[in-house]
Amino acid sequence: MLPISSMPHPEKHFTDSEAVRDIVIGMSDGLTVPFALAAGLSGAVASSSIILTAGLAEVAAGAIAMGLGGYLAARTDLEHHASERAREERETEEMPHKEAAEVADILRSYGLKAGDVEQVVASICADKKRWVDFMMRFELGLEEPDPRRAGRSALTISLAYIAGGLVPLAPYFFIPAVGDALAASIVVTLLALLVFGYVKGRFTTARPMRSALQTVLVGGLAAAAAFLIAKALG
């Protein structure tokens, strides 16, 4: 029998969390907002073509707006990281003793014995890049963002929004009667929200079914509110 220290220990971790986050952001809004819009218009107008035109315009505008938001958020993360790194580099040059003391404090907080701290601090501080990398990760909790993430984030969010937004609008392509199209839209969208919420929960929580039900509830309430308001004002 192999000793515990030499036994194979394959670790399975999901590492593409940023892409999943972008898909969740785009898909959740894409399913919910056009669904609420179509439901609201169904309570006020009697033409599927009008609802479809308004819905497609909203999907286009929403995809652009959401994608731009994702792009700006990723760019902000990149700029923030660069600014903090420049500050850490400056501090290691201007106040090395203080920064070395901070390294020691961090190591002690992880349980490193006092007799070993000085040696490890000297090893870390011997290389400026390694020193700054250490401070960025363990003092500030910042990982270096992928410089290509902004474009990928914008594209992922936009495409996810479009994919989600076409689901509640699909029945209006084929069903001319608004009432029948709305009923079909409710069925397919709630089903899509259930599946999406479950899949999202599999990646982000330990209770995927709870995530699925919460997603359906939020989307259903948004659509119901929009429909009732339009009906009351129409």
- 112 and 205 within one domain: no
What angle do the packed helices 17-42 and 178-204 form, to 10 degrees? 160
pLDDT digits (tens, 9 = 90+) for 210-224: 888 888 888 778 777
pLDDT digits (tens, 9 = 90+) for 19-30: 888 888 888 888
Residue 123 lies in a domain: yes
- 183 and 159 within one domain: no
- 179 and 160 within one domain: no
Using pLDDT thresholds of 50, 70 and 90, give the confidence band for residue 14.
Answer: very low
Choose the weakest-confidence range: 18-22, 31-35, 76-80, 225-229: 225-229
Please calculate the CA angle 99-102-107 and round it to the nearest 5 degrees: 135
Residue 131 lies in a domain: yes
- Given 166, 187, 204, which residue is the final one in a domain? 166
- 138 and 55 within one domain: yes
- 182 and 105 within one domain: no
Give the integer Cα–Cα distance in Å for 209 and 82.
Answer: 40
- 79 and 182 within one domain: no
- 132 and 98 within one domain: yes
- 192 and 123 within one domain: no
Residue 104 lies in a domain: yes
pTM: 0.76
What pLDDT does residue 209 have?
87
Q: Please choose, from the candidates 82, 117, 86, 87, the residue with its C-alpha nearest in 3D space to the C-alpha of residue 125.
A: 117
- Given 148, 166, 184, which residue is the final one in a domain? 166
Residue 2 lies in a domain: no
- 154 and 66 within one domain: yes
Cα→Cα distances 188→70, 157, 197, Å: 27, 21, 14
Residue 96 lies in a domain: yes
Residue 43 lies in a domain: no
- 60 and 138 within one domain: yes
Residue-level length of the chain:
234
- Residue numbers of the domain that contains 146: 21-29+49-166
Please calculate the CA angle 68-140-26 and round it to the nearest 5 degrees: 25
- 200 and 141 within one domain: no
- The total domain count for the chain is 2
Using pLDDT thresholds of 50, 70 and 90, give the confidence band for residue 225.
Answer: confident
pLDDT at residue 116 greater than cutoff 80: no
Residue 1 lies in a domain: no
Residue 215 lies in a domain: yes
- 189 and 143 within one domain: no
